[in-house]
Amino acid sequence: METESIQQGGKCPACQTWSQRLNGHYIRHPQDLPCVGYCVRLQLSVPRFFCDNVACHRRTFAGQFPGFVRRYGRRSERLTTQQLQIALITNGEAGSRLLQTFYMSASPDTLLRLVREVPDLQPETPRILGVDDWAKCKGQTYGTILVDLEENRVVDLFPDRTAEVLAEWLQNHPGVQIITRDRSTEYTRGINDGAPNAMQIADRWHLFLNAKQMLQRYFGRVYNRLKKLPAIEQTERAQSGEQNSKERAQIFPRTRRDYVQALSSRESRVEVYETIQQLRRAGRNIRQISRELGIARNTARIYFYSETFPERQRHQSKSSILDTYLAYLHNRVEQGCENASQLWRDIQAQGYPGTRSQVSKWLQLNRTKPSPMGPKKYMADSELKKLRQLKTEKAACDVPTIFEMVWVLIKEPAKLTDDEKVILNWVQQDPSVKKLSTEYKIVTLIVSQSKRRSVN
C-alpha cells in the first residue's frame, strides 16, 4: 500500500530547529494492521529535510510520524499494540503462532522484547505487607517476595533473603503499617531496621508449623519414656470399632518383595539418622546438616532432635475380608500348618469369600520357615529373620509414631477419628503430656479460630 507524507517541514532531532527545505524522499516499509485477510506492509514515502542551523552537526533529518510509527520502527504503533496484547496474554512461542493466523506475524523474540519494553508499574506502597521466601530452585536458592495483602498482589521480588535489602526497601517505601512474616530472624532484623514502627505479625501457617515442630522435638526426646506407658487397652480399641487395624496394617499391606524394599529403605533412613546424630555431636546445626547431606531441612530437624530413630507413620489400611479369620489362621500356623492352599480351603469352608492368593500373601509374612515350594531366591533367610524381628518389635511395643502423637495434639478435637482418640488417650496417660496437650489445644484453637475470623 503506497502512502505519502504531507509534511511541509520538521524539527531537527538534534537541535530542534524547524526546517522546510526539502532534501528529497526515501521509502520506509513499516508493517501495519492486516486488511481483509492480507498482511499489510506500507510503502511510506518519507521526506528528508536539511538542517539550516550552522552550529548543528546534522546536515539532514527525516520527517517523523509520532503516534503512528516510531523512529527506525518496522511496525506501526497500532500493530505493536495488538501484538503486545497477544504476547501479554500468551507467551513468545504461542503468541507468535497465534499472530500468524491473524496476519500480524511476529517472531517469538520480538514478542518477548515488546513485553520487556512495557514500563513497570509503580505500585503504591501497601499498608499491609507480607514478607516471605520464594524458591528460585526449591531446596537450593531462595529469594524474598513482598505481597500487598490487601490487594493480593506481588509488590516486589528480591534475589536473596538478607535483612539489608528488606530494610532498604522499607526505608524507600515508608508507610507500611503492618508486616506479616515467617520466623526468620533476618526478616525481623530487616523490619526493625527499615520500618521500626510497623507492627510485626507471625503468620498463622508458621505458628502452626512452630507448634508442630516443638511437639516433634518434645516427643523425640521423651519417646523412650512413652514406650513404657501401659498398652492401649483392648476394650478401648474394641469400642473404637477398629480392633485389628494396627495388626492388619502390619500383616499384609504389600507383597513380600515390597516388604524387602521397605526394609532396606528403613535401613537407609536409620543410617541417615545416625549420621545426623554424629554431625549434631560434632556441633553442626540443622541448616548445615541439611546442606551437607542434601536432605530436606524439616527431615533433618526431626532426626536432629529425636533421641531415638523416628519410625515412619503407619498407614491405616481399610478393613479386609480376611480380618474375621485372622485368629483362626494364627492358631493353625501355631499348630504347624503352613500350607496356604490347605488354610484357604479351611476358611473357605467357614465362609471366606476371598482368593487363595490373599491367604498366601498373609502366610508369606507369618510362616515360621521358608515355604518348601516357594521361590526362596526372593528373600534370604537372614532378611526374613530381620523382617520378623522388626515386626515383632513393632508389635511388642504398639506405640504410636511421633507423627501420630503430634497429629492428635494438633488436630481439632472434634475432627479426631476414633483411632486418633485412642492414641490421644494413651499418650495422655503421661502427666506431662497431658498438661502439654491442654496447652497446645488452646494454642491451636486460637489459631484455628483466627482462621475462621479472617475468612469471614
Contact residues for Zn ion (CB under 5 A)?
12, 14-15, 51, 53, 56, 58
Q: 61 or 352: whose CB is closer to Zn ion?
A: 61
Q: Which of 13, 102, 100, 18 is nearest to 61 (CA)?
A: 13
Measured from the CB atom, the residue of 10 and 310 that comes closer to Zn ion is 10
- Are 408 and 423 within 8 A, CB to CB? yes
Taking the complex as a whole, the smallest distance from the CB of residue 55 to Zn ion amounts, in Å, to 8
Report the residue number, 14 or 89, with the smaller CB distance to Zn ion: 14
CB of 61 to Zn ion, least distance (A): 7
Query: DSSP label at 311?
Result: P
CB of 8 to Zn ion, least distance (A): 17
Question: Please, which residue, 56 or 295, has the CB nearer to Zn ion?
Answer: 56
CB closer to Zn ion, 12 vs 343: 12
Q: Are the CB atoms for 113 and 96 separated by under 8 Å?
A: no
C-alpha distance from residue 42 to each of 32, 35, 69, 346, 408 (Å): 7, 12, 11, 92, 74
Cα–Cα nearest to 363, from 393, 322, 324: 322
Q: In three state form, how does the secondary structure of 337-368 look?
A: CCCHHHHHHHHHHCCCCCCHHHHHHHHHCCCC
The nearest distance, CB 71 to Zn ion, in angstroms, is: 15
Residue nearer to Zn ion on the CB measure, 15 or 416: 15
C-alpha cell at 11: 524539527
How far apart are the two ends of the chain, measured CA to CA in Å?
Answer: 61
Least Å distance between CB 24 and Zn ion? 17
Q: How far is the CB of 18 from Zn ion (least distance, A)?
A: 10
CB of 11 to Zn ion, least distance (A): 9
Report residue 332: phi and psi, to 5°: -65, -40
**DSSP-H helix ranges across 126-255:** 163-172, 185-194, 204-227, 234-239, 245-251
The least CB distance from residue 158 to Zn ion, in Å, is 45
Find cell 514406650 and name the residue: 227
User: Rounded to the nearest whole angstrom, what is the least distance from the CB of residue 4 to Zn ion in the complex?
Assistant: 24
* 30 versus 47: smaller Cβ distance to Zn ion: 47
Distances, alpha carbon 109 to alpha carbons 14, 93, 104, 105, 345, in Å: 31, 8, 15, 12, 72
Q: What percent of the chain is helix, strand and coil (3-state, nearest 5)?
A: 50, 15, 35
Cα 117 to its chain centre, rounded Å, is 32
95 conformational bin, left if phi > 0, alpha if psi -120 to 50, beta if neither: alpha
Nearer of residues 46 and 406 to Zn ion, judged by Cβ: 46
Which CB sits closer to Zn ion, 17 or 255?
A: 17
Question: Which of 12/215 has CB closer to Zn ion?
Answer: 12
Tell how far CA 231 is from the center of its chain.
Answer: 38
How far apart are alpha carbons 196 and 417 in whole angstroms?
Answer: 46
The one-letter amino acid at 179: I
Q: How far is the CB of 17 from Zn ion (least distance, A)?
A: 5
- The dihedral over CA atoms of 107, 111, 112, 113, expressed in degrees to the nearest 10, equals 100
User: Quick one: 13 or 174, whose CB is closer to Zn ion?
Assistant: 13
CB of 14 to Zn ion, least distance (A): 4
